[in-house]
Amino acid sequence: MGASRPWKVDPGATVKILVVGTNRPCHRTLMDAGHEVVLAVEADKVIPADDQGYAKVVPLSSDAVQSGTVDDNDLAPHLGTGIEVVASYHDSYYEVAAALAAGLDARCVVDLAVTRVLRDKYATRLKVADLECGRVNSAVLEPGRPLDSLDGVGFPCVVKPLDSEASMAVTFVHEADRLAEAVERARDADRTGRCLVEEMVSGPEFSVETFSVAGRHHVLAVTEKFKLPESPVEQGHLIPARLDDNDRKRIENSVCEVLDHIGLTDGPGHSEFILSPSGPKLVESHNRMGGDRIGILVELATGIDYIELVARHGALIPVHPSDLEPSRKHRAAVWYSADEPEGDAATVTEVTGRDAADAVEHVVRTEILKPPGATVSRIKGSFDRPALAIASGPPEADVLEAARTAVSRLTFHYVQ
């Protein structure tokens, strides 16, 4: 890397930025600020709207994303010259973003040491094992390891891939005769054929949205999470979570301990906890913004433009503690439709009730995620959910009920 080049980008400068992977709201933030933005993403994730806004769209192989390595000779002719910064806003792309930055002699904020701990759920468990919130019985099943080697875990348990996302291949197992099927499913979804089996901790679940600056962790919101019945798939989120001050403080203290142990000093964090009878227990943590429109909820509830701050951080544009001060105290919620076809090979023919859903008081917007023509299945992961509604209002407003009501007015029609 050029020794004369400053590490951070001058806030008033415009630069050529290569963005790797998804999270188009962050990309648009950079474009709106006047930066020249080149997109590198897998061909099957390119959407028609990408023809507008990006200076160029460059195909990225799925092998590169999986391995975190790139062939400079294959990509260089497509990227052009002058790229100064490589940015990524989803942890599944961090490794390949860092590899691209090294090959292009460009700057990149990705901390690979932190990323590798957080991408591997068992590595996270080992890193926080001496914290009270990290004391959860767990075991890794390597390929070929027998199921009877799960010392200390027992039933019920949770089986999950070590490096997957969106609740894919996560199973709640209550009886021993269902374990083998769950393990096979999780191993198939993991890059290395491993899976994590851990005790099922009882209690309500929350996430903590943070932004760290020079080692100080700023808690932007504690989010209350809601899941589909008997499923790991999330159906809704509410900010701020309905917690008493003591429980809120325990969760906030726990997330700061976790981030310190992980070594995350700068940028966004999304950490999930279950509030057990003995206190908060860490589920998992990420060095990125939470999904499920949580960035939008943070802004609606607090006035902090979380998406803009995350976009700036990824592009090495400084973020100051003063940017993290809330300017309002509202509530915000998102709720997802659980509408699904009877089988796994159906096509959406029509969606009705959109106007009625949009008319619900406090609803900010609805989104149809599976429009007419989309192929859909039963809801097994977050990407299978067909629609959502976002609601926001003052503290006395029941925005959670508003979002639920809006979603209930949407009806999906299918053909098998």
Q: What is the SS3 string spanning 296-351?
A: HHHHHHHCCCHHHHHHHHHCCCCCCHHHHCCCCCCEEEEEECCCCCCCCCEEEEEE
53 lies in a domain?
yes
Dmax (CA) of the chain: 62
**Amino acid making up residue 245:** D
Q: What pLDDT sits at residue 166?
A: 61
Rounded to the nearest 10°, the torsion over CA 147, 232, 258, 267 is 130
User: Which of residues 165, 199, 233 is at a domain's end?
Assistant: 199
Same domain, 213 and 316: yes
Q: State how many domains the chain has.
A: 4
User: Rounded distance, CA 115 to CA 89, Å?
Assistant: 12
Task: Say what the pLDDT of residue 1 is.
Answer: 40
Which regions of the chain are under pLDDT 70?
A: 1-6, 72-74, 76, 148-149, 151, 165-167
- What does the pLDDT look like over 211-251, one tens digit per residue? 999 999 999 999 999 999 888 899 999 999 999 999 999 99
Residue 3: what pLDDT?
A: 43
The DSSP output letter for 9 is P
Q: What is the pTM of this model?
A: 0.92
8 Å CB contact between 158 and 167: no
Q: How much is the pLDDT for 210? A: 98
Angle between helices 112-119 and 94-104 (to 10 degrees): 160
156 lies in a domain? yes
User: What pLDDT, on the 0 to 100 scale, is given for residue 322?
Assistant: 94
pLDDT at 73: 58
Instruction: Say yes or no: 191 and 212 in one domain.
Output: no
Single-letter residue type at 370 = K
CA nearest neighbour of 272 among 195, 203, 191? 203
Position 67 scores a pLDDT of: 85
Q: Are residues 186 and 213 in the same domain?
A: no
| Coil/strand/helix, residue 218 | strand
Q: Do both 166 and 91 map to the same domain?
A: no
DSSP class of 7: S
Do residues 278 and 313 share a domain? yes
d(CA 289, CA 298): 10
Q: Look at the block and give the residue holding tokens 């203290």.
A: 253
Here the tokens at position 175 are: 């009886």
Q: How far apart are CA 270 and CA 234, in angstroms?
A: 15
268 and 303 within one domain? yes
Residue numbers of the domain that contains 255:
201-326
Which among 96, 1, 3 has a CA at the least distance from the CA of 41?
96
Among candidates 161, 353, 78, 131, which has minimal Cα distance to 262? Answer: 131
Strand, coil or helix: 213 = strand
Tell me 10's DSSP state. Answer: P
Does 121 fall in a domain? no
Q: In this structure, are 195 and 205 located in the same domain?
A: no
Residue 348 CA to residue 339 CA, distance in Å, equals 11
Sign of CA dihedral 101, 10, 52, 55: negative
Give the pLDDT of residue 64: 87
CATH number at residue 414: 3.90.1170.60
Last residue within a domain, chosen from 265, 298, 326: 326
Q: What is the DSSP letter of 107?
A: B
End-to-end CA distance of the chain: 55
